[in-house]
Chain A
Amino acid sequence: MIDRPDPDALLADIQQEERRAARGKLKIFFGAAPGVGKTFAMLEEGRNRAAEGMDVVVGYAEPHARTDTEALLLGMEILPYQVVEYRNVRLREFDLDAALKRRPALLLIDELAHTNAPGMRHPKRWQDVKEVLDAGIDVYTTLNVQHLESVNDIVERITGIKVRETLPDSVLEEADEVELVDISPEELLERLGEGKVYTADMAERATSNFFSKGNLLALRELALRRTAERVDAQMRDFRREHAVRSTWAVSERILVCVGPSPLSARLIRSTKRLAAGLNAPWVAAHIETPASLRIAEADRRRVDNNLRLAEQLGAQAVTLQGQNIADEVIAYARAHNVTKIVIGKPEHPRWRELIMGSVVDDLVRRSGEIDIYVIRGEAEEGEVQTTDISHRPEPADWRGYVAGIVAVAVTTLLGWPFQHRLGFENTNVLMLYLLAVLWIATRYSRWAATLTALLSVACFDFFFVPPYLTFTVADEKYLILTFPIMLITALTIGTLTHRVKAQAQAARHRERRTQTLLALTRELAAARTIDQIVAATVRYVGQVVDAEAIMLLPDGERKLHPQSSSSAAQKLDEKESSVAQWAYEHDQMAGAGTGTLPAAAGLYIPMKTSRGTVGALGIYFNPPEPGPPEQRQLIEAFASQAAQAVERATLAEEARAAWERVEAEFLRNTLLSGVSHELRTPLAGIIGSASALVETADRLTPESRGELLDSILSEAEHMERLINNLLDMTRLEAGGMLIKKEWQPIQEVIGSALRSLDRRLTGRAVNVNVPPDLPMVNIDAVTIEQVLANLLDNAVEYTPAGSAIDISAKAVPGQVIVDVTDHGPGLPPGTESRVFEKFFRIRPGEGRRGIGLGLAIVRGIIEAHGGKITAENRPQGGAVFRFTLPVINPPPPRLPSTDSQHKQDVAATAG
């Protein structure tokens, strides 16, 4: 089949290439068993690189007291070990932070599969190595085939030894170079005998268990095959990259069904091998049905572990929800172009399939062109048991049983008079018993309903079937028909009711999850500020889990800071902060319940968006143990929603800042052109007049001299006003305008404003209308006087000479309203709100002077007082400028020692 390269695959290649370029290169010295000489080969190669002038450091070497290996370490820079005390044992560990600080070009780290001492940053060494690589440092390391996750079960079957130190196959697959270190089993056994691998007595034990020739042969085959598979995969990659017209298979995609069964782990490994062989991507799917929602906690954990295992092996893990397993699987498979489905062979007896139906049969029947692989599972007890911490029995629902007993007793007491006094048929009493079963089934567990059913049959027999008060039955038809039917009916009612209840609960559960997420999404969509986003996220996390949440956002130097001072913030000590920082920087979850720094108190989820990581969400579970996986998924969904909201807010902020820059630029330009013109004009007058006075003084008449002097004075005064306005505007914008509020009657401020404009108001009637009982206002008199002066000045400027100006004030609850009204032509329509903008001028030119700051300053001052200002045209002509001043809790207008105590008239006393 001739096919073009899939663009997605090419893109993936390019992205991987890019990632690789920034990362360090990983070379793995790969072997079949300990003792084949991997460490030796690694150190030798390292020495060669060092000889070539490369900066090589030995990060960790486990010489196993092999003399020839130790000789290789001589003269090389060795990173000091980190010594960790654990249960009174001093463990030597690779020091990740020291390595990152040292930053050599190449780091040699032995034993890639090693498990770190508890309390280290990562549980596994391969995770350390990954971080070293991410930091751009090349790494040489060693690995034995038995540590690979996907062959773990095969190794166990071959050798009978369960290898606990495993690592994901992806580590080997993503290595840039793999060098197979291979010697024949005979030679290895010989070296072992010579004590080159272990010391003598250890060698004895090792040989009997692990180093049998048969084992070594099998392991060697595994190692060779893995290396060959890798070569094969590289070949394919090469062909894909370089040959446009070569052939390759239709891309395969495999889906494996994962359940709580311990067999699923084996199923997953088998699928991994199948997928590796086909070079196909694969998906591990768990199907959540209403029934699976009530599975035991232990089973739930097993599902989680299985999915995690699949992820480690390179699968994409998904959880599907639906009523019917087969339907969901087929639907997902079709939607995602799955070509093969792997499912475990059913283990339950055949009769159950006849009644309940078989998932496998359903799948096979509906699969169409999709291949179905049914694989027999083999229980991996060890594997499952180690992770299965809690095998707690479900809490005994004793209340259900008690209620069942009580219900049966009550029914019996009720039924007794019906049958024995009133002569009702005992079939009627039977109905009563069924009612009791139904009642128990709706309220309590299935087992309580079952007990009630059994008790009902017994009591019915004892009390209501003749002969009475014995279990013996006179009429055989009761034994053959009535009792079994009654029991089956009761049990079925119990089961059905219970299932309905479970489904309803499952639906409610899902509903709640969806609702919460929806509500959060809505609230986040409405949130404008980071604070609102933080508050909403923290609150919603608290609603769905018993946990405290905290959001951490980076500053300019990518250092995270907690966003609230809640109690959760106090838990965030230096150590916890560093875990959060790690999660943020590495774009991976870290902390409690994860593979990185699991000893931390909190779980830290990076907040990812398409543009990168915007912060981290910290969760402190209470009790400190991460909840079930679906809870975690929900929190992750929260984190992602919050991340998008934060990004949106940040972008909005950036856009606003950019806009402000543009506006500032525009203002600067307007200012420069407008202001320089406005300032130069009076200067021209001043300089002209002054030079005329200086140079031609003797030829000027006294009148002209007076005119020139007048002009100098008035121009200078005009310039002063301009400069004062500019300064005020600058102060207002810089927040530097001093607002010193004091309670005072507004009349006084109006009076002083009028006095300051005395000269300009000459020839105009000014009507002041302020009720004497107007409450005092809490204002800064200096700036409010300026507001009034500017408004009056404006009125004078824009209305015909001699027209009146009105000032009035009135009180409404909570505020005082002041109007300045003129009787001029009014504002041009549409400019009512624009007049308060900076540098806005009505009909500039026209002989009026100014730079359009007066009203902007007015608005700034009023807003600084918590008031509002508006302008509008009156229907009867003229403009009215109206501002409000808040009046909250004005003080009593009199001194405590009032005059009323000695209310004597001064004039009277004098007279």
Chain B
Amino acid sequence: MSQSDPWAVSRRSSQNAPAPQSAPTDGAPVHPTILVIEDDPQLQKFLRVTLASQQYKVIETATGESGLRHAANDRPDLVILDLGLPDLDGVEVTRRLREWSTIPVIVISARGREQDKVVALDAGADDYLTKPFGVGELLARVRVALRHLAGSNPETGQAVFEAGELRIDLGRREVTVNGQPIHLTPNEYRLLGVLVKNADKVMTHRQLLHEVWGPGSGQESHYLRVYMNQLRQKIEPDPARPRFLLTETGVGYRFRLTS
């Protein structure tokens, strides 16, 4: 961890290792298994080659039905799912998967179909990739998803998040920038807390509204935007070009802890 890197993270599970490994104590395999449900041969090849190079075990299938069978039989650690499958709607696959499993799902969608992503995320997908995407983006998403799998229990999750000047101590309910305590309203704090606990993972507007204001407040996303704006004014060094509280336009927000 170099000092000049503003994205240096103080977490135990460092992201510098080429292959993210779940701690053996979790019972997860050393080489996580990834199920790729993708019908385009070129993209399939790209995913296979890239993921295999990172020591992941890859299971491939081209249809939603067989994908669901593989998910049940082979027990993968992560599913990468294309939303445009020939047989089943990707959202439907996610929904059926979520009936019995909490395995992380990353959906792949085409550009300009933000609504599809939101539906898939609200249906239980963990993250998304927009075609076309590069290796860096793919691996970052995979790592985040596997990390959340490892620490899926928030109680045992980590309490202190540190990125650059920003330090958030969930245990002590304390937020500081450059060591200066920042005054947050309860709602602002709750919002920041939800985002930080799901660090590097996208959260839809709906999910955030549910988490912060409780169920039944799914439509007033403009309030959420107002709080987000206020939060940025308080913790971002340059609120106009946020570094931590990123907007996933048309989808939601992502708290960026790693680069």
Name A residues whose Cβ lies closer than 8 Å to a Cβ of B: 716, 720, 724, 727-728, 731, 738, 740, 742-745, 747-752, 754-755, 766, 768, 770, 772, 776, 780-782, 785, 891, 893-895, 897, 899, 902-911
Contact = CB atoms under 8 A, between A and B. Distances in A.
Interface in B230-259: 232-233, 239-242, 246-250
B85 interface: no
Contact of A768 (B172, B233, B240): B240
A880 to B, nearest CB: 18
A844 B92 CA distance: 48
Interface string B221-234: 11101101100110
A907 B222 contact: no
Interface of B: 111-112, 114-115, 132, 172-175, 181-189, 213, 220-223, 225-226, 228-229, 232-233, 239-242, 246-250
Q: Which of B181, B186, B232, B249 has the most CB of A within 10 A?
A: B249
B225 A744 contact: yes
A745 B246 contact: no
A907 B184 contact: yes
Contact of A909 (B173, B213, B239): B173
Given A894-B226, A910-B172, A752 B247 contact: yes
Given A899-B187, A905-B183, A910-B174, A742 B221 contact: yes
B249 A906 contact: no
Given A740-B115, A906-B183, A907-B184, A751 B240 contact: yes
Nearest to B233: A772
B130 to A, nearest CB: 11
A776 B229 CA distance: 11
Contacts of A782: 112, 114, 249-250
Contacts of B181: 907, 911
A395 B129 CA distance: 89
Contacts of A905: 183-184
Contact of A906 (B185, B221, B229, B233): B185
B241 A751 contact: yes
A747 B238 CA distance: 11
Contacts of A770: 240
B158 to A, nearest CB: 18
Contacts of B247: 748-749, 751-752, 755, 781
Given A751-B247, A752-B246, 6 more contacts: A743-B225, A745-B226, A747-B239, A776-B226, A782-B114, A910-B174
B226 A907 contact: no
Nearest to A909: B173
A895 B219 CA distance: 12
A724 B220 CA distance: 31
B257 to A, nearest CB: 16
A690 to B, nearest CB: 14
Contacts of B249: 749, 752, 781-782, 785
B222 A891 contact: yes
8 contacts: A747-B229, A748-B229, A748-B247, A750-B240, A751-B232, A752-B246, A782-B250, A908-B183
A906 B213 contact: no
B225 A745 contact: yes
B185 A899 contact: yes
Contacts of A895: 187, 213, 220, 223
Closest 4 A/B residue pairs (Cβ): A768-B240, A743-B222, A899-B185, A910-B173
Contacts, number: 106
Contacts of B189: 906
B186 A720 contact: no
Nearest to A750: B240
A907 to B, nearest CB: 4
A906 B226 contact: no
Nearest to B169: A910
A906 B241 contact: no
Given A751-B247, A768-B240, A907 B186 contact: no
Nearest to B248: A752
Tell me whether chain B's interface is mostly helix, strand or loop, or mixed.
mixed
Given A740-B115, A770-B240, A782-B249, A745 B229 contact: yes
Given A905-B183, A906-B183, A747 B240 contact: yes
B222 A903 contact: no
A894 B223 contact: yes
B182 to A, nearest CB: 7
B220 A906 contact: no
Contact of B186 (A738, A781, A904): A904
Contacts of A893: 223, 226
Contact of B225 (A720, A738, A776): A776
Given A745-B229, A752-B249, A906 B184 contact: yes
A172 to B, nearest CB: 75
A743 B222 CA distance: 5
A561 to B, nearest CB: 38
A152 to B, nearest CB: 81
A728 B186 CA distance: 42
Contacts of B226: 745, 776, 893-894
A742 B118 CA distance: 15
A724 B173 contact: no
A903 B183 contact: no
A904 B190 CA distance: 13
Nearest to A767: B240
Contact of B241 (A727, A740, A754, A894): A754
B239 A781 contact: no
B27 to A, nearest CB: 35
Nearest to B181: A907
Contacts of B213: 895, 897
A776 B222 contact: yes
Q: Which of A745, A780, A785 has the most CB of B within 10 A?
A: A745
B188 to A, nearest CB: 8
B115 to A, nearest CB: 7
A905 B242 CA distance: 24
B185 A744 contact: no
Contacts of B132: 716, 720
A321 B189 CA distance: 89
Nearest to B250: A782
Contacts of A740: 115, 250
Given A902-B186, A906-B173, A906-B186, A755 B246 contact: yes
Contacts of A716: 132
A568 to B, nearest CB: 44
A747 B242 CA distance: 10
Contacts of A902: 186
Contacts of A899: 185-188
Contacts of A728: 112
A56 to B, nearest CB: 67
A907 B226 CA distance: 21
A747 B222 CA distance: 13
A751 B225 CA distance: 13
A193 to B, nearest CB: 97
A906 B221 CA distance: 24
B224 to A, nearest CB: 9
Contacts of B228: 748
A721 to B, nearest CB: 11
Q: Which of A766, A768, A897, A910 has the most CB of B within 10 A?
A: A910
Nearest to A752: B247
A772 B226 CA distance: 11
Contacts of B172: 910
Contacts of A772: 233
A141 B256 CA distance: 97
Nearest to B227: A895
Contacts of A731: 112
A894 B114 CA distance: 26
Contacts of B225: 743-745, 748, 776
B239 A724 contact: no
Contacts of A908: 183
B183 A768 contact: no
B115 A738 contact: yes
A126 to B, nearest CB: 69
Contacts of B186: 899, 902, 904, 906
